Amino acid sequence: MGLAQDGSVLLAVEVVHGEGRPAVQWAGRVDASSLSNGLQTLNRQRRLNTAKLVGLLPSDAARLVAIPAPDVPRSEWADALRWSLRDHVDFEVDDALIDVLEVPEATQLRQSRPTLTVVLPREKFVQVQTDADDAGLHWTALDVPETALRNVSALGEEEGKAHALLAFGEASSLLVITYQGELVMARHIEVQGTAMTSSSESREGALSRASLEVLRTIDTFERMHSEVSLQGLSVVLPPGSGEDVLPLLSDLIYVPVRAFHLSEWIDLSALGEAHPWLTSGVNLADLCALGAALRPMAEAAGRQQLRFVDEREAAGAGGPWSAQMGLRWVGIVAAVGVSVGVGLSLWASHATTRAQQVEAELAQLQRSVSEPQASNVTRELEELQRKEAVQTQLRQVLQGNVSATSMGYSDLLVSLGRQTQPGLWITGLKVRGDGRDLELSGRMTSPSLLPAYLRRLEKEDRFRSRRFAQIEMRDTVMEEGSAPSGVTEFTLRGRDAAERMATQKETP
């Protein structure tokens, strides 16, 4: 199943692969203020826990860079290219995830081996993994729009020829050229799909800009990949496009131009009329979700696939913590705290009953003794008085502990369990005495999440009267000398805990 977020909507397409054309078995779209919320909503509707989910990264998440292959074994390309990529992207590549797609050698006469290298910043990878985990799901794979659209373009290829596919989206458009099912070239074009449905003047201007970018790409393809001819360009026209769009493009572009009809390449009969957004017209996001769902079919055909491997996780460092995982641990700790509190309550009740029995025996003995008795009676009275003092002291101590534990500590844990913040999770809680000596620690993907979390926490009765007097934050570093992991650790301390910490530091 392929999933792609298009603005505030999450698209999902499930495809089955047989001997003939691939067929869309199910399609859906849900409102999604965030990827995590959309996945949770979709999971309630479709039960995605057992599905193989292929997630589409946003177009601005990763960078696709055309760069020659290094002179090292294929398995070492990603590491060898890391240093060269510094000049091609505007973010740090030291801890970025990198994968390399090789361009088919049959397209050119040159001795060099061109590649299309995809660079994904670690924080983007962590965020999309955390969103899935918050929804109780797991990604089978992650794709980028270029490779997803490649899977669709490959369906329209003629034997021995390359094929170009242009799709218009809400924010921009994407052009890909494929050969033998592999991606050869890709270009993002800053032309919105809404321009195709606007006034004639605006439409003609947008088509002129798009045609110029298409011509530049085709010219570069023919110079670099002269051993393969281009069969033509298929254009995905947005719903409501003017009738003159295709003729205008045909006049501006010298290769054959034809309209893209999804039903010619993919069987949509199972949908009926239930999903007009697929059957009557599609845009770039729809095709990318469909292309992500076609990944198993492309992989079975032996085509290269992106595999973003987190080396830190593979080395045993573990995946990103999520808010749901933190909530699970808080729930476990809360359950343990409540159990301990109930146990202490029962113990205190038994001790209180025993103390009352001792008091009754003592009162009866005191009433029966009106005159000085023999020494053995005096000793027994003194022993009973001593027992009474011990039982009274024990009852007072237990009542204090039960109050602090069953009422104070468990309520703190339950309050933490009720308040969750995507991207922020609690890893530790230390409480002493009556709860005023409190220390709370956790992790977050961005420091900007902490103020909002504290405001929500103040709404809880057990935290409304508490104020944190000290905060510590530091970037998480997996190994000494390595770059930060993109996750920030924080520690919050109450007044008593902060004073105790300061006293410990001052003590030599």
Report d(CA 266, CA 433) in Å as an integer. 67
Per mean pLDDT, which range of 30-39, 356-365, 380-389 is the poorest? 356-365
Q: What is the pLDDT of residue 22?
A: 93
Q: Per-residue pLDDT tens for 353-365?
A: 766 776 777 676 6
Confidence of residue 3 (pLDDT cuts 50, 70, 90): very high
Q: What is the mean pLDDT of residues 243-260?
A: 89
Q: What does CATH list as the number for 419-508?
A: 3.30.1360
Q: Give the single-character DSSP code of 371.
A: S
Helix, coil or strand: residue 142: strand
Rounded to whole angstroms, how far apart are CA atoms 204 and 195? 9
The encoded tokens of residue 310 equal: 């987190």
Average pLDDT on 417-427 reads: 83
Angle at 60 between CA 55 and CA 63, to 5 degrees: 90
268-291 as b/e, with b when 16 or more CB fall inside 10 Å? Answer: beebeeebeebbebbbbbbbbbbb
Report how far Cα 477 is from the mean position of its chain's Cα atoms.
Answer: 20
More confident residue, 387 or 236: 236
**Does 448 score more than 80 pLDDT?**
yes
- CA neighbor of 134 nearest in space, from 280, 5, 324: 324
The pLDDT score that the predictor gives to residue 4 is: 93
Mean per-residue pLDDT, 60-72: 91
pLDDT of residue 184: 94
For 47-72, what is the mean pLDDT?
A: 90
Question: How high is the pLDDT of residue 329?
Answer: 42
- Residue 83's pLDDT is 86
Helices 410-418 and 323-368 cross at an angle (nearest 10°) of: 160
What pLDDT score does 316 carry?
Answer: 44
Name 293's bridge partners: none
Q: What pLDDT score was predicted for residue 485?
A: 65
Q: What is the mean pLDDT of residues 415-419?
A: 80
Using the structure block, give the residue that is written with the tokens 């572009």: 253
Rounded Cα–Cα distance for residues 412 and 40 (Å): 27
More confident residue, 369 or 199: 199
CATH topology (fold) of 2-317: Nucleotidyltransferase; domain 5 (3.30.420)
Q: What is the pLDDT of residue 355?
A: 66
Alpha helices in 236-371 (DSSP H): 245-252, 262-265, 276-279, 284-293, 295-300, 311-312, 323-368
Domain regions of the chain by residue span: 2-317, 322-414, 419-508
pLDDT score, position 498 = 72
**Stretch 230-236: mean pLDDT, rounded?**
94
For residue 375, the tally of other CB atoms under 10 A from its CB is 8
Structure-token pair, residue 28? 């859906």
The model scores a pTM over 0.85? no
Q: Tell me which of 17-31, 264-278, 416-430 is least confident.
A: 264-278
Can you give the pLDDT at residue 176? 96
**Could you tell me the pLDDT band of residue 279, with boundaries at 50, 70 and 90?**
low
Rounded to whole angstroms, the Cα distance separating 104 from 303 reads 11
pLDDT for 144 beyond 60: yes
Instruction: Output the six-digit token pair for 224.
Output: 């670099």
- Which one has a higher pLDDT value, 255 or 497? 255
pLDDT at 487: 84
Q: What angle do CA 369, 375, 380 make, to 5 degrees?
A: 65
Range from 153-157, 190-194, 347-351 carrying the lowest mean pLDDT: 347-351
Q: What percent of the chain has pLDDT over 90?
A: 33
| Angle ∠(412,454,440) on CA atoms, nearest 5 | 50
